[in-house]
Structure 1
C-alpha cells in the first residue's frame, strides 16, 4: 500500500508537469475573464504619495449616472464663466487704463498680477483638492471670483486694480485645476470628449466676452454713466465707462454657477464625492518627471501665445491695421468664435482620433497661420482669414495635451497644478511683454512675431516629448494596453501566477 501510494503520488506530479502549461493557461483565461468584467466597472487611478482612488467609469443607471452629468454640466458652466472672466480684459484694457489714469504700456503689469495669483491658486487648488469637498472648493472659488469681478469697474487706483486682478487670478487658478482633475476623476478613461466639452465652454465664454464688452455695452465709444443717478451730471465725480458693465454681467453669471456647486455639495451622496482607498501602486511612467516638465514648458508657450493674441488682437487691429473699434471687436470675437467652434468639433473628434493626432494638426495649423500673419498682417482680409485659422489651430491643444499625457502616466491634482502653473506663467510673462512692447513700438507686428516664435517652439517640443514617452524601457501607453485588452490583465495575472508558484513550492 505504501509503495502504491508513493507511485500514485509520483504519477500525480508527473501529470501536473505534463499539463502545467495547459492548466496555467486555463487559470489565466478564467482569471482574465473575471478581471475584464471587473475592470469594465471600475478603474483604479493612483495618486503618487497617497492612496489610490477608485472611480466608476462605466455607465451606471440611477442617481450616480445622473449625478455625473449634472456635475459635468455645472463644470462646463463654470468654465464658461472662467473664459469670460479671462478674455474680457482684452477689449476693456484701454478702458481700465483710463479708469486709473494710465496708458496701456504702464498698466500691462496687471497681467503679471493676475497670473501671479493664478499660479498661487493653482498650487493651493492642487493641495486642497484632495483634502476637502471639490464641490465646496469650486463653489467658494467661483463666489470669490464673482465678487472680485464686480469690484473691478469701481477701481480708481492702479494698485487696487492689480490687487483685485491678483485675487481673481488666484480663485480662477483653483477653479482651473479643480475642474480639470474633477473631469478626469468623474469619467476616467472616457474623459476625452468631456474634457474637450469643458474647454469648449471656456472658449465659448472667451468668444462671448468681447461681444458683451464692446458690442453690447461699448457701442457708444468712451461715454460714461454716473453710478449715482440722483446726482447731477455736472457734479458727478464717480463715473463708469460703459464697457465696464460687462464685468457686472459676467460676475452675476459666475455667482449663479457658484450656487450650483453649493447645492451639489449639500446634496452629494454619490460615491464619486468621496474617494475610496484601494491597494495597488500608481501607474507612473518611467520618465514621468521629464514629461511633466516638458509639458509645463509646452503649456507656457501655448497658453501665453493664446492669451496674448486674444487680449491684444483688438489693440493691434485698431492701432496697426487701422480698423474701427466695432471691426476690431468683431475680429476679436472671430478669433474666439472659431476657437470655440473648433473645440466643439473636437468633442466628436476626440472619440475617433488620438490626442497626439489632434496636437499635430494644431501645431501645423498654428505654425502656418502665424507665418502668414507675419507676412500679411497689414491686409484686412488676410488678417481675418489667418486669425480664424490661428484660433482653430490653437483650440484643442490644452485639453488634448492633458489627455495625451494621461495615456502614459497618472494625472493627479498635483500634476494638473503643474500644468496650470505653466499656463499661468505663460499668461503672465508673454502678454506683459507684448503689452509693454506695443506701447513702445505700436507700428510693428510684434504680436504676430510672438505667435510665430511660440508656434515654432511648441512644434519642436512635442516630438521630443513623444520620443521620450515612447522610448525603450518606458512604461508605454496605458490606453494602448487597455485597447488590446491584455495590459492590465497580464500584469494582474503575473502577480496571481507568482502566488500560485509559491504555493506549489
Structure 2
C-alpha cells in the first residue's frame, strides 16, 4: 500500500515536470513573451525545487510524513489550476516556483522514505522503480496536451514569426485568440475552461489528479500505514551514521556536478524537443512534435524499466558507464545530422532517453554505497539538479530563440561533462579508500 501511494505521487511529479514542454509555446504566447524569456519559468521551478529539497530533512523530522506529503500535493494542484490562467510572465514564474517547492520536497522526501524504510542495499531496485514511475506521468502529459493543441498552429509563434511582441496589458481585460499574427498586440487575461484557452483543460485534469493523491496520503496517514511498513522492515532499515561533512565534501561536490549536468541535459531535451522540432527546419506538426515528445518518455520509461530489472544483476558503476557512453554517442549523431534527417532525430530521441533513464537512480544507489544519504544529506542530489536547471535551461531558451535546433548542442555538452564528473567521483572514492 505504501509503495502504491509512492507510485501515484511520483506520477504527479512526472505530470508537473513534463507538461511544460508541449505547452511552452502556448504559455509564451499567453504572457506575451518569447521562448527565451518564458524559459525563466524553468529557473523558477528549479529554485522552488531546491528550496523544497533543502527543507525535506527538517520537515520529515518534525511533521508527520503522510500529512506533509498530502499538503505538498494540494500545493501542486493549486499551481496547476492557476498556471494556464496567468497573463504575466513574472506571475507565471512565481506560481511555478511555489509549486516546485512542493515537488522538490516530494522528490527528496520519497527517496528518503524509501532509503529509511528499506535500507540502502535492499532499496536499490526500489529507487530504480521509484524513478521509473515518474515516467508514467511524464508520458501522459504531452498526450493530454496534444488533445487540446492539435488544431492550433504552433509555428505561428516560433521565434522567426514573433517579431512584434508587446507586453501584456492587464489593465483592460480582453480575451484574444491563443495564437496571434505578427501585427496583433498580445493581450490575454484570465479565462475559464469555456474560453479559447487550448491548454486549460489539460492543466485542470492534472490538478484534480494531484488533489486526489493528496487526499489519499491524508487517509493512509490516519491508518498509520507508514508505521506498519517500517515495523515489518526493521532488519533492513538504514542505520548507518552520517559521515561528517568534511569527510565527504569532495565527494558531494562531484556528485553535485554529476547531477548538475545529468538532469540539466535531460530537462533541456524533454522541455525543448517539442518546440525545436516545430520551429526548426524539420517543421513538425503539433501531432508529430507531440509524438517526438512522447517518444522521449517511451525511451525514458524503457530505460527506467530495464533499470529496475538489471539493478539485481549489475552494479551501479557498470550501468552508469554504459549509460554515459550511450547518451554521448547518440547526442553526437543528432547534433550532426538530426535537423536534416528526421529519422535520426526520432531514433536518437529514443536512444538518448533510454540511456538517460537510469543515470539518476543509479547515481543515488552508487553514492549510497559509500555514505548514508537518507537523512540530512538527501538534498545533495536536489542541489545538483536544481542549479543545473537554473543556469542551463534559460541559456537553452536563448539558444532556441537564435536557432531552435541548437539547444541539442547544449545537451551534448552536458553529456560529456556528466561523464567527466562521474570519472571524478570514481577517482575520489579510490583515493579515499587508500
Same fold? TM cut 0.5: yes
Corresponding residue for 2:408? Answer: 448
Corresponding residue for 1:198? Answer: 130
Corresponding residue for 2:382? Answer: 420
| Aligned equivalent of 2:397, options 417, 426, 435 | 435
Closer/same/farther in 2, CA of residues 389 and 281 from structure 1, 3 Å limit:
closer
The whole-number CA distance in structure 1 between the counterparts of 2:276 and 2:221 is: 44
Which has more radius of gyration? 1
Corresponding residue for 2:223? Answer: 267
Corresponding residue for 2:330? Answer: 369
Which structure has more RCO (C-alpha within 8 Å, separation ≥ 6)? 2
Matched, 1:282 2:208: no
For 1:127, what is the secondary structure of its paired residue? helix
Closer/same/farther in 2, CA of residues 281 and 390 from structure 1, 3 Å limit:
closer
Matched, 1:164 2:108: no
The whole-number CA distance in structure 2 between the counterparts of 1:372 and 1:419 is: 29
The whole-number CA distance in structure 2 between the counterparts of 1:360 and 1:192 is: 17
Matched, 1:75 2:13: no
Corresponding residue for 2:159? Answer: none
The whole-number CA distance in structure 2 between the counterparts of 1:131 and 1:433 is: 38
Task: Give TM-score scaled by structure 1 length.
Answer: 0.73
Q: Where do 4+ consecutive residues of structure 1 move more than 4 Å?
A: 271-276
For 1:173, what is the secondary structure of its paired residue? helix
Residues 341-380 of structure 1: matches in 2 within 5 Å? 341-378=302-339, 379-380=341-342
Corresponding residue for 1:460? Answer: 420
| Aligned equivalent of 1:89, options 20, 23, 31 | 20
1:405-464 deviation per Cα after TM superposition (whole angstroms, max 9, x unaligned): 11111112322212112111212221111012211334xx32221121111111112122
Closer/same/farther in 2, CA of residues 218 and 290 from structure 1, 3 Å limit:
same
The whole-number CA distance in structure 2 between the counterparts of 1:258 and 1:148 is: 14
| Aligned equivalent of 1:104, options 30, 35, 40 | 35
Q: Is the CA contact 1:153–1:245 (under 8 Å) kept in the aligned structure 2?
A: no
Question: Offset of 1:281 from its aligned partner?
Answer: 6.7
Question: Offset of 1:159 from its aligned partner?
Answer: 2.1
Task: Give TM-score scaled by structure 2 length.
Answer: 0.85
| Aligned equivalent of 1:119, options 42, 50, 74 | 50
Question: Offset of 1:271 from its aligned partner?
Answer: 5.6
Q: Is the CA contact 1:105–1:435 (under 8 Å) kept in the aligned structure 2?
A: yes
The whole-number CA distance in structure 2 between the counterparts of 1:256 and 1:174 is: 18
Corresponding residue for 2:183? Answer: none
Question: Offset of 1:105 from its aligned partner?
Answer: 2.1
The whole-number CA distance in structure 1 between the counterparts of 2:383 and 2:176 is: 46
Matched, 1:314 2:245: no
Structure 1 unmatched ranges of 5 or more:
1-69, 224-231, 475-505
The whole-number CA distance in structure 1 between the counterparts of 2:276 and 2:366 is: 34
Question: Offset of 1:112 from its aligned partner?
Answer: 1.4
Question: Offset of 1:149 from its aligned partner?
Answer: 0.6
Corresponding residue for 2:254? Answer: 294
Q: Is the CA contact 1:222–1:241 (under 8 Å) kept in the aligned structure 2?
A: no
Corresponding residue for 1:251? Answer: 207
Q: Is the CA contact 2:18–2:142 (under 8 Å) kept in the aligned structure 1?
A: yes
The whole-number CA distance in structure 1 between the counterparts of 2:249 and 2:326 is: 29
CA RMSD of superposed structures (Å) = 2.4
Question: Offset of 1:351 from its aligned partner?
Answer: 1.2
